[in-house]
């Protein structure tokens, strides 16, 4: 079936919104989150979009994922390659490396950057990782985290979840150069912990159906009401579920780097 966008995309940005090559546009215009709604074959879909100079910009990769064409990035030639004959395929945790330039994979496999890696940011700039000494070994953590939680209840009763798009956000201010990267592996840790906690709560269910809902992202308008914690403590989520077992939970996890140095993975949660 031919897939069409009912809600018109007023612009597609290959560079700043997907890969690199639009640095000048980022310097010239201010980008804000867009409230534009998007539809595929009449069905509402979620897409990250930004309003820049009166137009909406979305990631080409997101369009490929939704309508079924493949998009790859060739860092050596600085090119986005579209193949309409091949179905969309997610990058794996092996990532894409050329001259140590890393594109963070859209995958919930455990992916850890290394010192010397140069990370491609959402704004098209390159951020160099210089120090990973705090990874698994900081004063607030006992050591490396265990594997992801396994089911202690029937996970088939939970709706299938969709991973949000990876964000690689860079910020400069008088205090330094900061990078925030979505950690989808740790996001799964949060999700699975909440699942197991909900399995222990009778009030979270009615006639065998789950009343609560787990959302793997936090809407912009909810960010002021969001709590965060680090290092990882399962009790932060378990206590929340036991206190309010039949609500909507919004969760997120980001790795934070400051001046090239890994600082910590911070976990975010709010309920409504």
Query: Residues 59, 5: contact at Cβ < 8 Å?
Result: no
User: Measuring CA to CA, how many Å separate 38 from each of 10, 34, 42, 61, 87?
Assistant: 11, 11, 9, 15, 21
DSSP-assigned letters across all residues of 131-168:
B-TTTT-STT--SS--SPP--SS-GGGSPPP-PPPP-E
* Radius of gyration, CA atoms only, the chain: 20
Q: Which segments in the chain show pLDDT lower than 50?
A: 1-26, 28
Cα distance between residue 115 and residue 266, in whole Å = 20
Give residue-wise pLDDT tens across range 19-68: 334 344 445 456 566 777 778 887 776 667 777 777 877 777 778 777 87
Residue 36, pLDDT score: 77
> Which one, of 205, 213, 269, lies nearest residue 237 by Cα?
269
Residue whose structure tokens are 């009449």: 42
Residue 188, pLDDT score: 98
Residue 22, pLDDT score: 39
- Strands 205-206 and 209-210, by their bridges, are antiparallel
**CB atoms near residue 195 (< 10 Å):** 22
* Contacting residues for 186 by C-beta, under 8 A, at least 6 apart: 232, 253, 265, 267
Cα distance between residue 22 and residue 13, in whole Å = 8
Query: Residues 271, 250: contact at Cβ < 8 Å?
Result: yes
Q: What are phi and psi of 252, to 5 degrees?
A: -160, 155
**Predicted model pTM:** 0.67
Q: What are phi and psi of 163, to 5 degrees?
A: -70, 140
Residue 13, pLDDT score: 40
Residue 94, pLDDT score: 52
Give residue-wise pLDDT tens across range 65-77: 778 787 776 555 5
């Amino acid at each position: 079936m031919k897939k069409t966008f009912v809600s018109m995309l007023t612009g597609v940005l290959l560079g700043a919104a997907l890969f690199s090559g639009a640095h000048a546009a980022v310097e010239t215009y201010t980008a804000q989150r867009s409230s534009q709604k998007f539809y595929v074959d009449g069905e509402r879909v979620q897409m990250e979009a930004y309003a820049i100079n009166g137009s909406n910009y979305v990631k080409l990769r997101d369009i490929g994922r939704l309508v079924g064409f493949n998009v790859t990035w060739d860092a050596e030639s600085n090119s986005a390659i579209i193949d309409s004959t091949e179905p969309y395929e997610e990058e794996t945790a092996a990532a894409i490396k050329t001259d140590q330039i890393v594109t963070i994979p859209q995958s919930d496999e455990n992916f850890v950057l290394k010192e010397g890696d140069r990370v491609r940011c959402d704004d098209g700039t390159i951020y160099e990782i210089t120090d990973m000494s705090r990874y698994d070994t900081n004063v607030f953590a006992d050591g490396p985290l265990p594997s992801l939680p396994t089911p202690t209840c029937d996970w088939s009763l939970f709706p299938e979840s969709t991973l949000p798009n990876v964000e690689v956000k860079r910020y400069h201010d008088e205090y330094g150069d900061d990078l925030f990267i979505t950690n989808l592996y740790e996001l799964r840790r949060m999700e699975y912990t909440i699942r197991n906690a909900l399995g222990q709560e009778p009030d979270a269910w009615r006639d065998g159906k789950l009343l609560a809902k787990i959302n793997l992202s936090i809407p912009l308008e909810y960010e002021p009401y969001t709590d965060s914690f680090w290092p990882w403590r399962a009790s932060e989520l378990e206590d929340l579920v036991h206190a309010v077992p039949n609500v909507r939970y919004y969760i997120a996890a980001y790795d934070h780097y400051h001046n090239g140095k890994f600082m910590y993975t911070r976990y975010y949660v709010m309920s409504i």
